[in-house]
DNA sequence: CTAACCGCCCGCCAAT
DNA sequence: ACATTGGCGGGCGGTT
């Protein structure tokens, strides 16, 4: 998307060979509950008018989303300074260079701070929006939307960007993203962080450090997150007992699963399944 | 529920 | 001078 020579309302030129008819101007942001920057051309500097409109909307309490390269104007507005942002993996370094005040997370699907949400590229942006629907309207509404879009009902934002892709991936494979994939492929098994670090050919200390740089969390809590996300998915879609779900997701005991499940989601596994199926 | 145990993880610091 | 690595210690929290 280009930001130059715009007369809003009007036609917004794109680099895809067609224009987008825009019916409203920035004044719409004054009443918006959620403001979405769906993309951006990083070669363009956001205009002061746009940045001001974003800042005013944010200060008023509106939620601001920056999808994919849309993270650029969001970062430029200064409303995520000191906090984590996600963006398209190819633009992560550039975003970090241009806006040093934000903390770029190159290995996550999205970063949700409640008031500001940013996501990685294309497919991750869909997952991010699905996450927003889930938050605002509940799991069943999100599942409904996911079904229509032919998406997996829930991918967790802390997953590496490339992990769920089914085909051979051309994206850069960093040591940490490899480690995330390594873990996802053996989620049903139990392993220590030291095992994990050795598989990544690092000392445990370095592994923990690099892991944190790439994902914003520690290996242990990331892993727990993934185990719980998969457990929830199995509960929603399968008929396995809680006991079986626990072993399939790498929990040592069903009691352990129940404890973490309750802490994270506020319900028991059985109650979640019942609520979901109805 | 308690107690002992174990793994996580992060500050610190020396070595590279 | 500066950055990165990795061993160590120990508080903390989960597991048995």
Q: Which token pair is A101?
A: 């005040």
Question: Is the C-beta of residue A210 closer than 7 Å to nucleic acid chain C?
Answer: yes
Question: Is the C-beta of residue A252 closer than 7 Å to nucleic acid chain C?
Answer: yes
Rounded, the Å distance between the CA of A202 and C1' of B12 is: 20
Rounded, the Å distance between the CA of A194 and C1' of B6 is: 13
Percent of chain A with pLDDT over 90: 30
What confidence score (pLDDT) does residue A161 get?
Answer: 41
Question: Residue ranges of chain A with pLDDT lower than 70?
Answer: 1-8, 139-140, 150-173, 276-278
What confidence score (pLDDT) does residue A170 get?
Answer: 37
Chain C nucleotides with an atom closer than 7 Å to a protein C-beta:
5-8, 14-16
What confidence score (pLDDT) does residue A115 get?
Answer: 93
Four-point Cα dihedral A10, A14, A20, A23, nearest 10? -40
Chain B nucleotides with an atom closer than 7 Å to a protein C-beta:
7-12
A128-180 residue pLDDT tens: 898 888 778 776 677 777 777 766 555 555 544 433 332 233 345 678 888 88
Residue nearest to nucleotide C8 (CA to C1'): A205
Strand partners of residue A19: A13
Is the pTM here over 0.75, yes or no? no
Q: Which token pair is A267?
A: 């319900």
Question: Is the C-beta of residue A204 closer than 7 Å to nucleic acid chain C?
Answer: yes
What confidence score (pLDDT) does residue A160 get?
Answer: 46
């Amino acid at each position: 998307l280009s930001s130059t020579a715009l007369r809003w309302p009007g036609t917004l030129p794109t680099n895809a060979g067609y224009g987008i008819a825009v019916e409203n101007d920035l004044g719409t942001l004054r009443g918006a509950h959620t403001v979405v920057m769906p993309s951006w051309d990083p070669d363009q500097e956001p205009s002061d008018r746009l940045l001001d409109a974003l800042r005013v909307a944010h200060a008023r309490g509106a939620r601001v989303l920056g999808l994919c390269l849309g993270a650029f104007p969001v970062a430029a507005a200064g409303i995520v300074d000191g906090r984590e942002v996600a963006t398209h993996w190819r633009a992560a370094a550039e975003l970090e260079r241009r806006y040093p005040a934000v903390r770029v997370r190159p290995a996550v699907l999205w970063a949700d701070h409640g008031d500001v949400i940013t996501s990685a590229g294309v497919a991750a942006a869909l997952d991010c929006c699905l996450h927003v629907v889930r938050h605002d309207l509940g799991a069943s509404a999100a599942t409904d939307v996911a079904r229509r879009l032919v998406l997996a009902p829930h991918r967790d934002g802390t997953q590496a960007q490339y992990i769920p892709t089914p085909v051979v991936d051309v994206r850069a494979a960093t040591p940490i993203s490899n480690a995330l994939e390594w873990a996802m492929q053996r989620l049903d098994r139990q392993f220590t962080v030291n095992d994990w670090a050795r598989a990544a050919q690092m000392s445990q200390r370095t592994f923990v450090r690099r892991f944190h740089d790439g994902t914003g969390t520690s290996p242990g809590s990331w892993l727990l997150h993934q185990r719980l996300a998969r457990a929830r998915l199995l509960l929603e879609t399968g008929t396995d007992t809680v006991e079986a779900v626990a072993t399939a997701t790498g929990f040592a005991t069903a009691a352990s699963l129940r404890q973490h499940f309750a802490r994270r989601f506020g319900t028991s596994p059985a109650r979640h399944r019942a609520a979901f199926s109805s």
